[in-house]
């Protein structure tokens, strides 16, 4: 679990504001959900025979003896909330949320025990158009963030019936190759033979590659849905690869599934993953409602942003106010407030706490601000202030305190124009 420190929160804030803006532009509304749910919710939704539920959840008993878990993902809680609050009664809903998720995985690059996801969910729309919209939304996000080189992998898991037929074929296949299965897979074989396809064990990859493919067992309806979905992606020029092994790590998916994958992050290359989960709402006690959604891993996305150098650390300050001596402090604190009232968007930091002129100038230099305002006894007596450019080669100026807001406006406008 990571502390997100002041030198990276600026990147988080920029990313979060871009995400919020994009969601609004596609007509998605934000929902805010608790980080704790009943353990049973995840057992039923994510699936009892998944890595997440079998070995990754932070589960505890609360004071009533109820078993609760820190949420390992957001979809289950979102569906629960939508059912409980009647959001799905003959309604279509486009929802999004973001926040921390918790999984007790082996920590490594790109894999943390508290990580953050942006989740996007759409309810009550059965057609492939919403599937395509979600892909287009995510593609636009990569484009606007300047991220290149993500590969879109898609697959169809078909209907429950098709999967049941396929399950039989797969069971037989695993049965014939039992000696090559690892412990997890042997244990899961009966409960969920599809789950084995999602194994991350390198030793299993050969036998997985030879397994029969679900895409060959698809029902007619899923086949058509998938074909239309692909045609829609083609029509806007989004390229993709059909990956018949893509089954996703959670049990609730059916029909369309997808992942956006990069080769720039090492083993943890999936940045965004999702798919249809048409059966989940009814399974959790709601009226039968079609659904589709995806989640973006924000740590991995930020990592990619840093690699593509699109995460330019913008300066967090415009002005630093240097105050040397007691009189300057008393005057400065008032001057700073009057400047803030006049220029509400200005980012001004007063160097409270005193110190010599030299040490305060050092701090001002380090702060990243464009301009230092300087107050010492002399300036206080004459109601003036010194103005020093910290980034540009320009002579220091002295001006009346009443003119300083106007002068700062001109200087900073010049900076915006240059940028």
Q: How far is the CB of 257 from ligand ATP (least distance, A)?
A: 10
Partner interacting with residue 297 (select from Mg ion, ligand ATP, none; CB below 5-8 Å by kind): ligand ATP
Q: Pick what 252 binds: ligand ATP, Mg ion, none; C-beta below 5 to 8 Å, kind-dependent.
A: none
- Number of residues written out for the chain: 419
CA dihedral 31, 36, 37, 42 (to 10 degrees): 100
**Nearest residue to ligand ATP, by Cβ distance, number only:** 297
Q: How far is the CB of 230 from Mg ion (least distance, A)?
A: 26
CB of 201 to ligand ATP, least distance (A): 13
268 vs 349, which CB is nearer to ligand ATP? 268
- 3 state SS for the chain: CCCCCHHHHHHHHHHHHHHHHHHHHCCCEECCCCCEEEHHHHHHHCCCCCHHHHHHCCEEECCCCCEEEECCCCHHHHHHHHHHCCCCCCCCEEEEEEEEEECCCCCECCECCEEEEEEEEEECCCCHHHHHHHHHHHHHHHHHHCCCCCEEEEEECCCHHHHHHHHHHHHHHHHHCHHHCCHHHHHHCCCCHHHHHHCCCHHHHHHHHHCCCHHHHCCHHHHHHHHHHHHHHHHCCCCCEECCCCCCCCCCCEEEEEEEECCCCCCCCEEEEEEECCCHHHHCCCCCCCEEEEEEEHHHHHHHHHHCCCCCCCCCCCEEEEECCHHHHHHHHHHHHHHHHHCCCCCEEECCCCCCHHHHHHHHHHHCCCEEEEECHHHHHHCEEEEEECCCCCCCEEEEHHHHHHHHHHHHHHHHHHC
Q: Which partner from the list ligand ATP, Mg ion, none does 270 bind, CB cut-off 5 to 8 Å by kind? A: ligand ATP
Enumerate residues 82-121 that contact ligand ATP by CB under 6 A. 103, 105, 110-112, 115, 117
Minimum Å distance from CB 56 to Mg ion? Answer: 8
Instruction: Print the binding letters for residues 198-237 with Mg ion: x by CB under 5 A, - otherwise.
Output: ----------------------------------------
Task: Report the residue from 19, 154, 194, 271 that binds ligand ATP according to the rule CB under 6 A.
Answer: 271
Which of ligand ATP, Mg ion, none does 351 bind, CB closer than 5 to 8 A by kind?
none
d(CA 397, CA 171): 81
Per CB under 5 A, contacts with Mg ion among 54-113 are none
Q: Which of Mg ion, ligand ATP, none binds 273 (CB below 5-8 Å, type-dependent)?
A: ligand ATP
Task: Compute the least distance from the CB of residue 337 to ligand ATP, in Å.
Answer: 43
| Two structure tokens written together for 396 | 């220091």
In the complex, the smallest distance separating the C-beta of residue 268 from Mg ion, rounded to whole angstroms, is 9
Q: Which residue is nearest to Mg ion (CB)?
A: 249
Is there binding between residue 249 and ligand ATP (CB under 6 A)? yes
Residue 271 contact partner, candidates ligand ATP, Mg ion, none, CB within 5 to 8 A by sort of partner: ligand ATP
Residue 386 binds: one of Mg ion, ligand ATP, none (C-beta under 5 to 8 A by kind) = none
Single out the residue of 300, 335, 371, 374 in contact with ligand ATP (rule: CB under 6 A). 300
Q: Which of residues 231-260 bind Mg ion (CB under 5 A)?
A: 249
What is the CB neighbour count within 10 angstroms for residue 187?
A: 12
Q: Residues binding ligand ATP: what is the number (CB under 6 A)? A: 18
If binding means CB under 5 A, how many residues of this protein chain bind Mg ion?
A: 1
Minimum distance from CB of 364 to ligand ATP (Å)? Answer: 38
Q: What are the residues binding Mg ion (CB under 5 A)? A: 249
Q: What are the residues binding ligand ATP (CB under 6 A)? A: 73, 103, 105, 110-112, 115, 117, 248-249, 268, 270-271, 273, 295, 297, 299-300
């Amino acid at each position: 679990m990571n502390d997100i420190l002041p030198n990276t929160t600026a990147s988080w804030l920029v990313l979060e504001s871009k995400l919020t803006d994009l969601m609004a532009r596609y007509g998605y509304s934000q929902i805010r959900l608790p980080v704790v749910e009943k353990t049973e919710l995840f057992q039923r939704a994510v699936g009892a025979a998944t890595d997440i539920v079998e070995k990754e959840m932070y589960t505890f008993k609360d004071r009533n003896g109820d078993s609760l878990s820190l949420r390992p993902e957001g979809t289950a809680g979102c569906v629960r909330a939508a059912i409980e609050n009647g959001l799905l009664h003959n309604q279509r809903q486009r929802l999004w949320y973001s926040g921390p998720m918790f999984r007790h995985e082996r920590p490594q690059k790109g894999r943390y025990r508290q990580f953050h996801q942006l989740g996007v969910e759409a309810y009550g729309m059965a057609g492939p158009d919403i599937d395509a919209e979600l892909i287009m939304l995510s593609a636009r996000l990569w484009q606007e963030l300047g991220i290149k080189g993500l590969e879109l992998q898609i697959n169809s898991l078909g209907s429950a019936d098709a999967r049941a037929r396929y399950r039989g074929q797969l069971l037989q296949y695993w049965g014939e190759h039992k000696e090559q299965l690892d412990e997890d897979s042997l244990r899961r074989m009966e409960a969920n033979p599809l789950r084995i396809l999602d194994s991350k064990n390198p030793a299993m990859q050969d036998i997985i590659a030879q397994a029969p493919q679900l895409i060959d067992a698809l029902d007619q309806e899923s086949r058509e849905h998938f074909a239309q979905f692909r045609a829609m992606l083609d029509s806007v020029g989004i390229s993709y690869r059909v990956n018949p092994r893509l089954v996703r790590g959670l049990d609730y998916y059916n029909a369309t599934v997808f992942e956006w994958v990069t080769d720039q992050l090492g083993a943890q290359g999936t940045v965004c993953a999702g798919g249809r989960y048409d059966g989940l709402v009814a399974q959790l006690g709601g009226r039968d409602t079609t659904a589709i959604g995806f989640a973006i891993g924000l740590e991995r996305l930020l990592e990619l942003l840093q690699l593509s150098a699109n995460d330019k650390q913008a300066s967090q300050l415009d002005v630093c106010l240097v105050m040397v001596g007691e009189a300057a402090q008393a005057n400065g604190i008032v001057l700073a407030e009057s400047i803030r009232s006049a220029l509400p968007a200005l980012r001004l930091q007063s160097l409270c706490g005193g110190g010599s002129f030299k040490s305060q100038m050092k701090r001002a230099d380090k702060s990243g601000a464009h301009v230092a305002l300087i107050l010492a006894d002399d300036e206080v007596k004459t109601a003036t202030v010194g103005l020093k450019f910290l980034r540009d080669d320009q002579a220091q100026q002295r001006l009346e305190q009443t003119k300083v807001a106007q002068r700062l406006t001109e200087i900073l406008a010049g900076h915006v124009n240059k940028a």
